[in-house]
Structure 1
Amino acid sequence: MKTLLRLILYGLAALLLASAVLVFCAVGDTPDVALKWIMKPADIVRAKKILHEGSKTKPDAIATLELSHADLNLAANYLLNRYSKSAVHISIKENKLKFIVTATLPENRLGKYINITFRLGNEDNAALPSLTKFKAGKLLLPSKLAAFIINQVIEHSSLKDYFILATHPIQAINISDDKITITYHPNREALVKARNLLAHGGESTISNAVNPYQQTLADVIKRHDPKWRLSLAELLKPLFALAYQRSTPETAIEENKQVIFTINDYVNKEGMLALPGHILDTTTVRRTSTFLYKRIDLAQHFIATAAITASANGQLAQMMGEEKELSDAKTGSGFSFIDLAADKAGTRFGETATQSPESARQLQKSMSEITHYRDFMPDPTDLPEHMSEAEFKKRYSSINSGIYKRTIKDIDTRIAKLPIYN
């Protein structure tokens, strides 16, 4: 037993040492890739289109996506620069992908940049590529050791869920001389996990310690009379009014995301625990459920889908909502067009909040002047719900039938009639 424990400790020590060596050797004051590329608006539109292409595939259907050398560089640089000033150069040679990555580091004594170079290739005709070469700065590491360290970092960090979400549907990646072809197969289970992760995983560019929207949210809850239902409008109106005061055209989209993420965390995630302790006195303020049309689930659907749309894209959010209802028809509470209407309205809300600086600012102004939740969510309570799979098939056949599409069109029309979305 002691020998086994000693071996485990030696293994952990070796892993930590290897990780430290990797980081130390990769850090320096000179970038391997110049950080001069500024993405034009057209580049950003193209990058988003590439990244969202996979969401068009229906669950349990197999699809392929072809990406050129230019597409790969555009999408990769867009992703990297969402988090820090970074650059990546991807080249294709001899059926292998070569990545040269430079990221800017926070102020430290080791250096300004971290530089990593690696290659991916389909070894022994494998369906998925593996790491064939890895350099941390100038240090060349054995590819298997580097792959092991990277996997351990992902496995024991917050990256794990996102990594699984991104890679699980991929069945094969073929690398040719001028492009890569990705074959992927999303399933319903993956969509449910994606919905939960994206809805609760909004990234904040405002520190929790100084998030003014959390303070405003806490103030609203403290003032609310617990004898009455808490309307989602009571949360959205003051937070968007604050966003309208704080924002410039350049920051409006990010401020809107923070409003949506803050409210979604309260409504769907942790309730009072979503608010920092120094803001919230839990001895005087209790958890209060949020409603739309006297229903908690509608508020949850609306704001969760808005959060998914703000952090990912509307097409993905709508598909997730539809698939959840089909799943509920089989094993849950039944298919609900009422829930689906809340999903679709939330998608439209999230799109309007983040579509452009002009749209973001206009929504802030409109939401600061609302008088009721009917201003952003049409009444769906006359729509069918609680349909089992057998009843759904009897009444609507499938989601491709004419009667189903007419019902969806009716929901879309109700949402489009609201002035806030015009």
Structure 2
Amino acid sequence: MKSISHYLILTGCLLLSLLMVMGLLAIDDTPHLNPRVNLTPTQIAKVKRLLERNDPRHLRTGSLARATLGQEELDLALNYAANQYAGGASHLIIEPGKLRVQATLPLPWHPPGGFLNFQIELIQTNTLPEIGAFSVGHLTVPTLIAHHLVNFSLGMLPLEIDWQQLGRMVKKVRFVSRKAIVTYAWQGNLPAQLGGALLSSRERELLWVYQARLAELTRGGKRTMRLTALLNALFQLAVQRGKLTDAVQENRAVLRVLAFYVTQKDLGQLMPSNKRWPRPIRRRILLQEREDFTKHYLVSALLAADAGSPLANAVGLYKEIQDSRGGSGFSFNDLAADRAGTQMGERAIAEHTAEATQQLLAVAAESDIMPETADLPEFMPEAEFKRRYGGLQGDAYRDMMGEIERRVAALTISR
């Protein structure tokens, strides 16, 4: 009996030592990739064109379709997701017959300097790709174990997605030079399913609460309303609820509801199970007497609250560049609304400022949340913008953006 107990203890010690060695081999002191992600208007434009080229919504359910996905756009999307959801970075390379991904994720529970550096290689087959190689740090993981690790990781994501159903949709994936060609059977209910999956049941419940309140506020005879009136009313409700709930979640729900409303997007599409989703009446919502400012402000606030300020800044700048090439023209006052909205969104979901921002927005006036813009240049065609301000790299442009930043920093919402 004594020898058996000694054997079990020795075996346990060996297994523990093996796990410790594997952990040491897996964890690196330095990241292989820089986790900082900065999107540019050019990158935003490329992703937009990718989505437009492969928009499947006109297809009938069950019909086969093919999407060609470029390496640069996929790399951008994956890298931004790694940065936003895990604080890390990734890099993707597509070669004939295979796809390789590197990723760096920080370990918050490890002493400073602890990182997991992943490398995974997917090999093309006659149908779906298979894992050809997988390593973490200095540790090479057998492909069978790697397959189970990937499935386990997908199951741990906070997303209610039927991965098996999604996998059945994809019929074949081919890797050619710098491109992935995906053949799939389109399902018309997929957008609603994915939209709902991206939100937890708690988040959907909060959206219903504020959507119902917004529906109440928009009833009546007024064709126009001030943004501050909606902000005040919704954040007053958030303050009341915030005493018993999480201020960050409440604030994010308010911003989602308002941004969807002013951009005329149907929140009900994200809630396929809610047949009686409250529907606010369409009104013109004004900020500084302008409806476009409201959209700039709230979309930027939502992007900052949901996806981080680099994306919000890049999207706002991308729109202005597009406007200068045949739209309404480049407008610094629109950028001021973008920056002010970004500032509000950041503070609304930061743990140390969420409650104070909530209380301010419950009573805020326009001057508390939006800088003066009447003297800022607008409606400039691209040629005039380049002549007057030297383009995005010009000193005059930087000076004007510096002035906008100073005005935003002076707002009550920023203090």
Contact 1:231 1:373 survives alignment (8 Å)? no
SS at match of 1:335: coil
Q: Tell me whether 1:59 sits opposite 2:54 in the alignment.
A: no
Q: Give the corresponding residue for 1:419.
A: 412
CA distance in 2, matches of 1:201, 1:291: 33
Contact 2:286 2:293 survives alignment (8 Å)? yes
- CA root-mean-square deviation: 4.7
Contact 2:300 2:312 survives alignment (8 Å)? yes
Deviations 1:116-158 (A, max 9, x none): xx73549xxxxxxxxx7687769x9xxxxxxxx979826959x
CA distance in 2, matches of 1:411, 1:364: 24
How much does 1:373 deviate? 2.2
Q: What amino acid is aligned across from residue 54 of structure 1 in structure 2?
A: V
Q: Give the corresponding residue for 1:396.
A: 389
CA distance in 1, matches of 2:296, 2:255: 13
Residue from 255, 260, 272 that aligns with 1:260: 255
Change (3 A) 1:317 1:328: same
Change (3 A) 1:202 1:135: closer
Contact 1:202 1:261 survives alignment (8 Å)? no
SS at match of 1:72: strand
Change (3 A) 1:411 1:73: closer
CA distance in 1, matches of 2:196, 2:293: 17
What is the correspondence of 1:303-318 to structure 2 with a 5 Å cutoff? 303-318=298-313
SS at match of 1:54: coil
Q: Give the corresponding residue for 1:327.
A: 322
Q: What amino acid is aligned across from residue 391 of structure 1 in structure 2?
A: E
How much does 1:420 deviate? 2.0
Change (3 A) 1:137 1:412: closer
Q: What amino acid is aligned across from residue 410 of structure 2 in structure 1?
A: K
CA distance in 2, matches of 1:155, 1:389: 47
Q: Give the corresponding residue for 1:376.
A: 369
SS at match of 1:59: helix
Q: Give the corresponding residue for 1:114.
A: none
Change (3 A) 1:56 1:210: closer
Q: Tell me whether 1:361 sits opposite 2:355 in the alignment.
A: yes
SS at match of 1:236: helix
Residue from 160, 166, 171 that aligns with 1:153: 166
CA distance in 2, matches of 1:277, 1:230: 28
How much does 1:382 deviate? 2.3
What is the correspondence of 1:134-213 to structure 2 with a 5 Å cutoff? 153=166, 203=199, 205-208=202-205, 211-213=208-210
CA distance in 2, matches of 1:201, 1:264: 20
Change (3 A) 1:369 1:286: closer
Name stretches of at least 5 consecutive residues in structure 2 with no aligned partner. 1-18, 20-29, 47-71, 80-88, 92-100, 110-114, 123-129, 135-142, 152-161, 171-176, 180-194
Contact 1:243 1:364 survives alignment (8 Å)? yes
Misfit runs of 4+, over 3 Å: 60-77, 89-92, 95-98, 118-122, 132-138, 149-152, 154-157, 199-205, 271-280
CA distance in 2, matches of 1:151, 1:137: 14
CA distance in 1, matches of 2:108, 2:164: 20
How much does 1:50 deviate? 6.6
CA distance in 2, matches of 1:296, 1:200: 29
SS at match of 1:387: coil
Change (3 A) 1:411 1:150: same
What is the correspondence of 1:74-89 to structure 2 with a 5 Å cutoff? 74=106
CA distance in 2, matches of 1:331, 1:76: 47
Contact 1:220 1:234 survives alignment (8 Å)? no
Q: Give the corresponding residue for 1:243.
A: 238
Q: What amino acid is aligned across from residue 343 of structure 2 in structure 1?
A: R
CA distance in 2, matches of 1:368, 1:401: 40
Deviations 1:257-312 (A, max 9, x none): 111001111111336968976464x7xx7311211122111101110111111111
Change (3 A) 1:325 1:289: same
Q: Tell me whether 1:341 sits opposite 2:339 in the alignment.
A: no
Q: Give the corresponding residue for 2:131.
A: 119
How much does 1:333 deviate? 1.7
What is the correspondence of 1:7-86 to structure 2 with a 5 Å cutoff? 53-56=36-39, 59=42, 72-74=104-106
Contact 1:50 1:75 survives alignment (8 Å)? no
Residue from 199, 222, 225 that aligns with 1:226: 222
Residue from 214, 217, 223 that aligns with 1:217: 214
Change (3 A) 1:207 1:135: same
Q: Give the corresponding residue for 1:85.
A: none
The TM-score normalised by the length of structure 2 is 0.56
CA distance in 1, matches of 2:37, 2:402: 24
How much does 1:315 deviate? 1.6
CA distance in 1, matches of 2:108, 2:121: 13
Q: Give the corresponding residue for 2:281.
A: 286
Q: What amino acid is aligned across from residue 288 of structure 2 in structure 1?
A: Y
How much does 1:215 deviate? 1.6
The TM-score normalised by the length of structure 1 is 0.55
How much does 1:410 deviate? 1.3
Q: Give the corresponding residue for 1:180.
A: none
Change (3 A) 1:154 1:406: farther
Name stretches of at least 5 consecutive residues in structure 1 with no aligned partner. 1-33, 35-45, 78-88, 99-117, 123-131, 141-148, 158-169, 173-198
